[in-house]
Structure 1
Amino acid sequence: MQFFKVKTVEETFTLIAEKIAAIKQTEVRELDAALHYILGEPVMAQENVPGFDRSTVDGYAVRAKDTYGSSESMPGFLTLAGEVHMGEVPTATVSSGKAVYVPTGGMLPAGSDSVLMIEHCEDVDGLLNTYKQIAPGENVIRKGEDIREGEILLAAGTKLRPQELGALASLGITHVTVFRKITAGYLSSGDEIVPYQTGSLQIGQIRDINYLTIAGLASEWNVEVVYGGIVKDDFAEFRQKAFELYQQCDCLILSGGSSVGAKDYTTDVIQSLGDPGVFVHGISIKPGKPTILAVADGKPVIGLPGHPASAMIIFKLFGERILRTLTGEILERKPERIFAKITKNIPSSPGRSDYIRVRLFEQDGDWWAEPIIGKSGLITTLVKSDGIVEISSEKEGVTQGEYVPVIPSR
């Protein structure tokens, strides 16, 4: 056969990196409408944050050397010289032997270099007893220490999470240039597939749950999904609907019909969409071996297995990489992983990467991964799992108690 020459997981990631490019079209969005978008250009700080030296605690602004030698048994003594009010520039100054009260976030008065916490001193009628010595800079954030004027705060390709929006807001930025949201078209295939809203199934029929699971994952990556419906196992109809959907979107996702059966037209349909065509037809992975990846006239096409668990695992591994690459996001080499101890021995075949659905739980300070054993078509394994354990192709399995990489599902 020309196709179904399987690639390793690593080869697949490499091919995706080589063949998939970001969509560079940008738009300007208001900051409060830019959550999860990807920055299209770097953001340079036009001012310092904070814009002044300020206290991180409630306490007294002092010169640190005036506290040296202070202790519970041998306190030091300073004279109170005033108070700082929030939002105001201090009028009092700190000179040798003096202290000025300052609230959390308040501006440091001139002459001070640190703040003695209120818990470590006592005001006795204007005489401050100090019970602890502190170092210069203690309990203080200096001007520009958080963000310095002229530095690049966020690089192009940064995903705007709530914390990035907060950092931008601290600089007074109200609009950002971001890459536009991409769209992915989704089309299910198979004579047995019916809409998930179908109330009563005929013998042999299966509700189309893959659309909801795949579209749900895509939406988590800020990708808009256009549903193309369900197409029967007829090449002409399949090709027409796929082509129509392909023209509307930045990426086409096909579910079902990716193996080598007589009625599996997916490969031929994908090849008909444009060049260069299929670059992966089969991955040395379980579950999800019959996976197709292609590029047709610059647009990625993903052919997923029909079994729900297989489809979700493949889409999480490779579909996410493709879609997030399209968005322009700067990505690590592999999906995010955590490490947990496996609860039982799991054998694996060398030369094939295995992905096992697991339940995560904490015990005695360690995270443990309990395999959820079930065939790839079982839907309940998806509901019970918190992630998938990766057993790489060079291993012959994992042993109980061994730390294993887990790709979290949420």
Structure 2
Amino acid sequence: MKFFQVKSVEETFQLINENITPLSEKVSKPLFEALHFVLAEDIEVKENVPNFRRSSVDGYAVKAADTFGSSESMPGFLNLIGEVKMGETPSRMIQMGEAMYVPTGGMLPEGSDSVIMIEHCEDISGLLNVYRQIAPNENVIAIGEDLRRGNVLLSKGTKLRPQELGALASQGIIEVAVFRKPIIGYLSSGDEIMPMETEALELGQVRDMNGITIGSQVAQWGMTFLYGGVVKDDQAELERRVRDMIEKVDCLVLSGGSSVGTKDYSVDVIQSLGDPGVYVHGISIKPGKPTILSNANGKPVIGLPGHPASAMIIFHLFGKAILDRLQGMELEEKQLTFARVTKNIPSAPGRTDFVRVRLFEKDQEWYAEPILGKSGLISTLVKSEGMIEISSENEGVYKGDLVPIRLFQ
């Protein structure tokens, strides 16, 4: 095995897709507990939505032909015969020359084929003046137009957001089969790393910031985080702690010890955990080049750089992709927003750069101001709200360019 042969960002995502096998264990969750879980099976529409013709506006149910030729200068006239109340069936059907008031969402009476908006009419003591013509089916939601019985409502692998839960509730579904959420274990390594509760640091020591930043990302994504503490630079101790932790979790994250320094044992320990082993050791990216990704007997292992900013960015990019895949989701590149960059940003060809930015609005347009500083500085992350991705084919971006932004969420 030859380590530290860097992969491109695109190759890394492809290898993640090939090496991560979704968890197969299913659990049943009531809707109120299913937010952010991933569906374990397809769900079909059981009932048409709506199951009756309904109005999409406040207006009057009519026969469209009765409005033909109507205008501001030559209105049409219809007899107003009553109104439809929400949740009730209309008391009678519409005949030629008649209209019935119907609120938004109300059921259309039989005989009507369209709804004219209330703004285009005037009720004068039961005589409805119509000031424009409408087409058949205008402002009408047909039976099954929203959801049609027999169609797939939600596919296996769909992450349940509030809108998906609402769609399930519309069908009377109160419980769903979902994949179990993964448990993510974490260890920091390094003689210089101290627990974050350490009150007084000696020269050369730093507190473990990565444990809380990585753990908070995991919690933000709705998964369970198991913090294993700090391990000193001792290969036997690191191997013992890693083997103990990986038995308890579905994915193991290590921070520190991923470069080619003499005391960096992580890659050897990770490789020893199981087959097929390390498939990425080094990514052509800044920050975060010395990243390790491994598959240890079906369990993902992620070796993050020690610098807090680099670790958080790498976990945001590749850790999220691994955990999504582990939950049965397909990897999809989704652009979150665009903004105009406020200054030139150079980049080295052959390497993907992620530049932290602050976003602000000016003249009804969004702008991205680069937060410049050395890649390991956590302060640049605190000041930023997202990242510009400069692909390996480009030598940078110019001031005023419209660039894609990945938001920190």
TM-score band w.r.t. shorter chain: over 0.9
Q: Shift of the alpha carbon at 1:297?
A: 0.7
RMSD across aligned C-alpha pairs, in angstroms?
1.3
Where does 1:292-371 land on structure 2 (aligned, <5 Å)?
Answer: 292-332=292-332, 334=333, 336-371=335-370
Give 1:158's aligned residue: 158
Say whether 1:212 aligns with 2:239. Answer: no
Give 1:20's aligned residue: 20
Q: Deviations over 1:346-384 (max 9, x none)?
A: 111111111111111122233221111111221110111
Indicate if the aligned counterparts of 1:223 and 1:323 stay in contact, CA closer than 8 A: no
Indicate if the aligned counterparts of 2:292 and 2:302 stay in contact, CA closer than 8 A: yes
Give structure 1 regions of 4+ aligned residues with deviation exceeding 6 angstroms.
none
Say whether 1:169 aligns with 2:169. Answer: yes
Q: Shift of the alpha carbon at 1:209?
A: 1.0
Structure 2 SS opposite 1:101:
strand
Q: Distance in 2 between matches of 1:58 and 1:339?
A: 37
Say whether 1:291 aligns with 2:291. Answer: yes
Say whether 1:243 aligns with 2:246. Answer: no
Q: Shift of the alpha carbon at 1:393?
A: 0.9
Structure 2 SS opposite 1:273:
coil
Q: Distance in 2 between matches of 1:350 and 1:87?
A: 63
Say whether 1:400 aligns with 2:399. Answer: yes
Say whether 1:390 aligns with 2:406. Answer: no
What is the one-letter code of the residue matched to 2:319?
A: G
Structure 2 unaligned runs (5+)?
A: none
Give 1:138's aligned residue: 138
Going from structure 1 to structure 2, the CA distance change for 1:337 and 1:116 (only over 3 Å counts) comes to closer
Q: Distance in 2 between matches of 1:347 and 1:215?
A: 33
Structure 2 SS opposite 1:268:
helix
Q: TM-score, normalised by structure 1?
A: 0.97
Q: Distance in 2 between matches of 1:26 and 1:62?
A: 51
Structure 1 unaligned runs (5+)?
A: none
Indicate if the aligned counterparts of 1:83 and 1:92 stay in contact, CA closer than 8 A: no
Indicate if the aligned counterparts of 2:309 and 2:381 stay in contact, CA closer than 8 A: yes
Structure 1 SS opposite 2:247:
helix
Q: Deviations over 1:183-226 (max 9, x none)?
A: 11011111111121222222222111111111111222222111
What is the one-letter code of the residue matched to 2:58?
A: D
Between stretches 100-109 and 397-406, larger displacement belongs to 397-406
What is the one-letter code of the residue matched to 2:311?
A: A
What is the one-letter code of the residue matched to 2:341?
A: I
Report sequence identity in percent. 64
What is the one-letter code of the residue matched to 2:149?
A: E
Between stretches 111-120 and 41-50, larger displacement belongs to 111-120
Q: Deviations over 1:268-309 (max 9, x none)?
A: 110121111111111111111111000111111000001011
Q: Distance in 1 between matches of 2:289 and 2:226?
A: 26
Q: TM-score, normalised by structure 2?
A: 0.97
Indicate if the aligned counterparts of 1:35 and 1:160 stay in contact, CA closer than 8 A: yes
Q: Distance in 2 between matches of 1:197 and 1:136?
A: 70
Indicate if the aligned counterparts of 1:74 and 1:131 stay in contact, CA closer than 8 A: yes
Indicate if the aligned counterparts of 1:358 and 1:370 stay in contact, CA closer than 8 A: yes
Q: Distance in 2 between matches of 1:124 and 1:404?
A: 57
Give the number of equivalent residue pairs: 409
Indicate if the aligned counterparts of 1:210 and 1:311 stay in contact, CA closer than 8 A: yes
Indicate if the aligned counterparts of 1:317 and 1:335 stay in contact, CA closer than 8 A: no
Indicate if the aligned counterparts of 2:335 and 2:404 stay in contact, CA closer than 8 A: no
What is the one-letter code of the residue matched to 2:373?
A: G
Q: Distance in 1 between matches of 2:334 and 2:136?
A: 43
Give 2:374's aligned residue: 375
Structure 1 SS opposite 2:270:
helix
What is the one-letter code of the residue matched to 1:364?
A: D
Indicate if the aligned counterparts of 2:17 and 2:331 stay in contact, CA closer than 8 A: no
Q: Shift of the alpha carbon at 1:335?
A: 5.1
What is the one-letter code of the residue matched to 2:255?
A: S
Structure 2 SS opposite 1:3:
coil
What is the one-letter code of the residue matched to 1:367?
A: W
Indicate if the aligned counterparts of 2:59 and 2:103 stay in contact, CA closer than 8 A: yes
Q: Distance in 2 between matches of 1:344 and 1:213?
A: 29
Q: Shift of the alpha carbon at 1:344?
A: 1.2
Indicate if the aligned counterparts of 1:39 and 1:179 stay in contact, CA closer than 8 A: yes
